[in-house]
Structure 1
Amino acid sequence: MTNMIERLPGWTPLPDLFSWVEGFTGLPGLHAVPGLHGIRIEESLTEGTYVLRAELPGVDPDKDVEISVTDGVLTLRAERAEEAGSRHHTEFRYGTFARSVRLPAGARGDDATAAYKDGVLTITVPVPDTKTGTRTIHVRHG
């Protein structure tokens, strides 16, 4: 006999994990801060450049986005206000969005640039190549 749960269309034994994970701020010990939402990001490090891409649809980058670098940590904050009008249903997030990421060692946060296109904010930070080779130290003896 087939288990009744297996026959229910669209049912999954896992909860809506994405919504649950969005409740985390990325800081240890802080969960589901009311009114604060996470920002989905992509990171890459190639050819001496760190690139962070963040999904921020529906924001005005000139008015609603703040980017800062402090002690090697890049912090991105954005705000999206809810539009007036009644809705039957919405899954959009409104309010304050924030995300902090540690930059790679040697990243030059002061030289970071940002661009916004099609709802995606791209932050580019130069990371000079550092020589990490092995050096042999000769031991002198008496």
Structure 2
Amino acid sequence: MLTVTKKERPFAPTWRAPFESFRRDLSNFWEGLRGDNEWEWFDTMTPSLDMSETDNEIEVKLDLPGMKSDDISIQLNHNLLIVSGERKEEKEEKNKSYHRVERRSGFFSRTVTLPCEVKEEAVEAKYKDGVLTIALPKGETAKSKKIKIKG
């Protein structure tokens, strides 16, 4: 493997010095956030989410692999959709040596603002292959209507 070492330039113009120091500090900061480091605890379990819309409904999909539907909660509060749950931690087996444990466990909550009013009583959810799909039919006032122009 080729190793490249960047040397400091002692005779660089003096106006660059504060900026070079800042660049180096910022670079070190971002390097510290990637890979194997002490910042991994900062990464919480936040599920990815897609929201799409048709004339009649809003559809929200969340990636929740490895969960049971009983461990997922869905709430609708006006135009806020709240999906929360808990992924249970698996017990480590005593006769195994673990090299990496990266799969997250614990509580999560994801709140998204819906773009329009929905019919709360007609909302449906299904969970299959690690994907939660929520169908939210639009309320009558939210559906688009074509207005005929007179004249």
| Structure 2 length-normalised TM | 0.62
Which is higher, the Rg of structure 1 or of structure 2?
2
What are structure 2's unaligned runs of at least 5 residues?
7-26, 35-39
Partner of residue 44, structure 1: 52
Question: Which stretches of structure 1, 4 residues or more, deviate above 2 A after TM superposition?
Answer: 3-6, 13-17, 130-136
Q: Post-superposition shift, 1:93?
A: 0.9
In the alignment, is residue 85 of structure 1 matched against residue 107 of structure 2? no
Q: Post-superposition shift, 1:46?
A: 1.4
Higher share of residues assigned helix: 2
Matches within 5 A, 1:119-130: 119-127=130-138, 128=140, 129-130=143-144
Q: Post-superposition shift, 1:5?
A: 6.5
Partner of residue 106, structure 1: 117
Change (3 A) 1:97 1:132: farther
Q: Residue 72 of structure 1 contacts residue 109 of structure 1 at CA under 8 Å; is this kept in 2?
A: no
In the alignment, is residue 118 of structure 1 matched against residue 118 of structure 2? no
Higher share of residues assigned strand: 1
Partner of residue 97, structure 1: 108
Q: For 1:135 and 1:70, locate their aligned partners in 2 and report how far apart those are by CA, in whole Å.
A: 37
Q: Post-superposition shift, 1:111?
A: 1.6
Higher mean Cα deviation, 103-112 or 51-60?
103-112
Partner of residue 66, structure 1: 73
Aligned residues: 112
Q: Post-superposition shift, 1:133?
A: 4.9
CA RMSD of aligned residues (A): 3.1
